[in-house]
Amino acid sequence: MTTISPVFSRRFSPASAALVLAALLAGNAAAQDGDACADLYLVNGRFFSMVELPQSTDGVAESDFNSMRIAGNAIAEVGDDLEPPDCATTIDLDGRTVIPGIIDTHMHFIRATLRPGYDTRELELSRSIPEALDMIAARSAAMAEAGVPTDQWITFIGGWDPIQWEENPVGSGPGGGPAYVFPTLEQLDAAAGDYPFYIHLRSTEDAYANSRGLARLNELAVITEGEGDPQVDPATGFVADSTAAFRLIKQDSNPREQAIRVMRGFNGVGLTSVVDVGGSIRGMGAQYFDVFSDYETMKTLYDADELTIRVRARVQGDLITPVEDHEALVHSIAAEFGSEDDSMFKVIGLGEDLGDIATNGYQNVVEMAISNGWQVGKHAGALADIETYHNAAVATGKVTRLILEHSSPGPAEFDRIRELGYEDVVGANLSSHAFYGRGAAGRACGSVPFRTIVEEGFHAGIGTDSTNAQPSNPWINIYAMVTGKDVKGFGLRAGGVTTLRAATAGGMGGMAAMGAGAGAAIDPDAPLTCPDERISRAQAVQLYTKGSAWLAGSEDDYGTLEEGKLADVVVLSDDLFSPSVSDEEIQGINSLMTIVDGKIVYFDEDSGFSVEVEE
């Protein structure tokens, strides 16, 4: 038997470890006649299937089983103390916690993979400028050690907010507070070393580069006709036209390679699947997405069997008219990626933007989707959208699913769903937008009813809406769901107290209303108490796995660790379900090993989960 144990004697990079495992599997399969010899066994783990919430003893969650057998791309067997045959490959997990792969049900994933450079998504976790600089320096050092040419960019585009750094106190930024503090040019030069560096806020907002980056932007502006002048300040590193800078940096990038790096980064935090919601040519800068051409890189990776994130796609309608052309576009994208039963990429519907509904007619678009068996995802979906969907369902005589995208459903929506018998038709995609609050963190309540919707028993999952204004890291979002806190530690969903005046400073009136209640008229300086919508760690993980699989229309395929399901599995760095891991440590959790479609796609060499091969 070939055993791979989490010991410290031999260490491999994630890529080489995966190659070792692939070679072992291939060798065993070739050497033995029986199919069982090609199976992968995971033993001595704490597996949480998430079919049901785990029971607890003395505050510690009880796992469902300790072993799993993976055959091909599926979970073949689960149980306690499975006995692998001598010819099989076995990984001893040494008691580590295992959950289903995490599913983000509202991510602009394909757009994120098109972001240029060596993405430093780990900066989502930085809570001070020195900490961010250390992360940039670590990335620069790793690239240098790997022999990456010094003309390659280090980038951090979207998914962050200056309010996350302690140098920017509550109330900073637009609205009369202190101006945001950003890293200085000298700091960025020191951190990025010999590499050009570029940081870009949201879609078209503040951007900064180091000296090498500024020089390269100026060069690109001269040699690249029609992309614009980034208007750089050589004294501060400020880039006034971030849209032009973004387009210019893309000229230096290899889309396929950067997409692979972005996927590996997501795999490293346990993400195995997304519902991609595309984008629009109406978006500017880093938010731009061309529905006619920007699936090309995904298609290249799909054809080469290089996808390490499972994709379920909703296609946006952009400005397409008439509705028949929108329908034809969706069919054409679906046809590019094989059959509707494909496990790695599948078009499941429309949304979040349903296109030119003013011209095409909102109900007509929904009827078109239902007639094709497609889901409908509606941006900020609410009661009126349920009514439109119902009218379309009556007109077509069919139902599919309506997903209320990054929504905050309440009693009106719950009552109507029950009246219509739509408990298995309508689902809510829940997000943690208020974690940053576009700078309003520390002073605005959040409206997303995590606890309420769990208690009501409606279908729901988690979608980050990343990587523009929101972080993609699922552990940031799980922390927010469990603690009810935002990035400044304010209890935005845990009884924090603010005022309407404070919460609306800087144009954040919508978030203030989250705590005030619809139509409420209150004294702007009266205390405003945020609702308590905290949920347990297990509930948060279940929303991110089982619940999210339903929103993806794939609950029969993945989302739980059950026999016959696709093998999307994550071995965690920390035991999330033990009180030994504090709430504050949740954000730092990552994956030691991630399996997607039965393949090891990520292996963390720095976690102590190292590889020893015993022949």
3-state per-residue secondary structure call for 166-204: CCCCCCCCCCCCCCCCCCCHHHHHHHHCCCCEEEECCCC
Residues 528-558: pLDDT tens digits?
Answer: 999 999 999 999 999 999 999 999 999 999 9
Q: Are strands 102-107 and 56-57 parallel, antiparallel or unpaired?
A: unpaired
Around Cβ 225, how many Cβ atoms within 10 Å? 6
Do 337 and 267 sit in the same domain of this protein? yes
Out of 338, 367, 396, a domain closes at 396
**Total of domains in the chain:** 4
Check if the beta carbon of residue 242 is closer than 8 Å to that of residue 206: yes
Do 160 and 223 sit in the same domain of this protein? yes
Q: Is residue 109 situated within a structural domain? A: no
How many alpha carbons lie under 13 Å from residue 539 in its C-beta half-sphere? 17
Do 169 and 268 sit in the same domain of this protein? no
**For residue 187, what is the domain's CATH number?**
3.10.310.70
Instruction: For the chain, give the percent of residues with pLDDT over 70.
Output: 90
Which domain, by its residues, includes 391? 255-396
Do 591 and 508 sit in the same domain of this protein? no
Do 415 and 550 sit in the same domain of this protein? yes
Walk across the sheet containing 118-119 and list its strands: 118-119, 154-157, 197-200, 207-209, 238-239
For residue 103, what pLDDT is reported? 98
List the one residue out of 486, 494, 432, 437 whose CA is nearest residue 463.
432
Q: Is residue 459 situated within a structural domain? A: yes
Q: What's the pLDDT band for 12 if we cut at 50, 70, 90? A: very low
Do 239 and 274 sit in the same domain of this protein? no
Distance from chain centroid for Cα 609: 24
Q: Is residue 483 situated within a structural domain? A: yes
Do 549 and 478 sit in the same domain of this protein? yes
- Residue 489: what are its φ and ψ, rounded to 5°? 85, 10
Out of 352, 371, 396, a domain closes at 396
**For residue 27, what is the domain's CATH number?**
2.30.40.10
588 vs 586: CA distance, rounded Å? 5
Do 46 and 90 sit in the same domain of this protein? yes
Q: Using the 8-state DSSP alphabet, how is residue 86 labeled?
A: T
Residues 93-143: pLDDT tens digits?
Answer: 999 999 999 999 999 999 999 999 999 999 999 999 999 999 999 999 999
| 495: its two tokens | 């009884």
Q: Is residue 216 situated within a structural domain? A: yes
Do 132 and 186 sit in the same domain of this protein? yes
Identify whether 467 is preceded by a cis peptide bond (ω within 30 of 0): yes
Residues 248-267: pLDDT tens digits?
Answer: 999 999 999 999 999 999 99
Do 304 and 262 sit in the same domain of this protein? yes
213 vs 191: CA distance, rounded Å? 13
Do 418 and 458 sit in the same domain of this protein? yes
589 vs 471: CA distance, rounded Å? 15
The pLDDT mean for the chain works out to 90
Q: Using the 8-state DSSP alphabet, how is residue 293 labeled?
A: T
- Residue 559: what are its φ and ψ, rounded to 5°? 110, -20
166 vs 106: CA distance, rounded Å? 29
pTM attached to this predicted model? 0.94
Do 411 and 541 sit in the same domain of this protein? yes
Whole-Å CA distances, 215 to 32, 191, 211, 233, 238: 59, 17, 6, 11, 12
Distance from chain centroid for Cα 398: 31
Q: Is residue 108 situated within a structural domain? A: no
List the one residue out of 18, 35, 24 whose CA is nearest residue 69.
35
H helices present in 90-159, as ranges: 109-113, 129-145
Mean pLDDT of the 314-332 span: 94
39 vs 75: CA distance, rounded Å? 10
For residue 175, what pLDDT is reported? 76
User: What would you report as the CA-atom Rg of the chain, rounded to the nearest whole angstrom?
Assistant: 24
Q: Is residue 421 situated within a structural domain? A: yes
Whole-Å CA distances, 537 to 49, 483, 534, 577: 14, 9, 10, 7
